[in-house]
Amino acid sequence: MTTKEQLDDRYGRTSRRTVRIWISVVAAVAALVAVLYFWSYFSETGKNVDVDDLGFTVVSDSETEVSFRITSAHDEPVVCVLEALDEDFGKVGWQVVELPPTGSVTNDYVRSVRTLDTATTGYVNSCVLR
């Protein structure tokens, strides 16, 4: 006589206990992946530096001043890349500036960029925490 266990083995049926174990394992792995994803997302977004270009002034054929605002919740040094472009959008000057921590969330700056030719615009390319 054939038992229930023999029939289950023959036709590939699994017990409810095995199904529950697999569902628990998959749910635990999915929860772990979700926690790691949100942790990495929020740990990186907390280190953002917001930059607002406020304008530029062409001082001479060899100098352009760039005005910008930095907003950062961290009291750490910030490094920014400033660029000056000519009328054909060619890069005629760039400079890396390091801004010291100030203890304030928002600060305005004006920095000079030396240029090879007359610039028609000046802006902040990027800023990061150092």
Q: pLDDT tens for residues 59-110?
A: 999 999 999 999 988 888 999 999 999 999 999 999 999 999 988 889 999 9
Q: Where exactly are the structural domains of the chain? A: 4-45, 50-129
Q: Which residue has the higher pLDDT, 15 or 76?
A: 76
Exposure of 106 by Cβ count < 10 A (0-12 exposed, 13-18 middle, 19+ buried)? exposed
Rounded to whole angstroms, the Cα distance separating 40 from 93 reads 36
Q: Give per-residue pLDDT as tens, 116-130.
A: 999 999 999 999 988
Does residue 2 carry a pLDDT above 80? Answer: no
CATH number of 50-129: 2.60.40.1620
